[in-house]
Amino acid sequence: GDSVTQMEGPVTLSEEAFLTINCTYTATGYPSLFWYVQYPGEGLQLLLKATKADDKGSNKGFEATYRKETTSFHLEKGSVQVSDSAVYFCALSDLETSYDKVIFGPGTSLSVIP
């Protein structure tokens, strides 16, 4: 079945450091890819998405590119802030095989220190 793998955390960075969180996926169809963020004590928020190969999703300084050839969707940010501390989930949804059912990775916890 479809699945998502992402780098284990926790990740600790200093403010203004560069962030990369690796994500790879396995899918039988042609999925859409997402990054969701969960701030402490809150629900999930969609951070960015990409629906086809080579699409780049971007939001709040974060970006990720849909790489079909490497089945990857790595999250990057050039300069992290303390307010970016949260858990980040890579996810996929394949509308050809399931309606809006989202498959999540295990999450990567990010802590940004001043």
Partner 1 sequence: DAGVTQSPTHLIKTRGQQVTLRCSPKSGHDTVSWYQQALGQGPQFIFQYYEEEERQRGNFPDRFSGHQFPNYSSELNVNALLLGDSALYLCASSFGGLSYEQYFGPGTRLTVT
Q: Measured from the CB atom, is 105 or 112 closer to partner 1?
A: 105
Q: How many residues contact partner 1, by CB under 8 A?
A: 24
Q: Does 44 bind partner 1 (CB under 8 A)?
A: yes
Q: Measured from the CB atom, is 78 or 106 closer to partner 1?
A: 106
Q: What are the angstrom distances between the C-alpha of 55 and each of 46, 65, 72, 73?
A: 16, 6, 12, 10
Q: Measured from the CB atom, is 70 or 99 closer to partner 1?
A: 99
Choose one: 22-30, 64-72, 78-86, 99-107; the region binding partner 1 (CB under 8 A): 99-107
d(CA 33, CA 95): 11
Among 11, 22, 24, 51, binds partner 1 (CB under 8 A): 51
Residue labelled with tokens 């926790």: 10
Least Å distance, CB 14 to partner 1, is: 24
Question: Residue 77 phi/psi, 5° resolution?
Answer: -150, 135
Burial class (CB in 10 A: 0-12, 13-18, 19+), 67: middle
Contact residues for partner 1 (CB under 8 A)?
Answer: 4, 32, 36, 42-46, 49, 51, 89, 91, 93, 95, 98-107
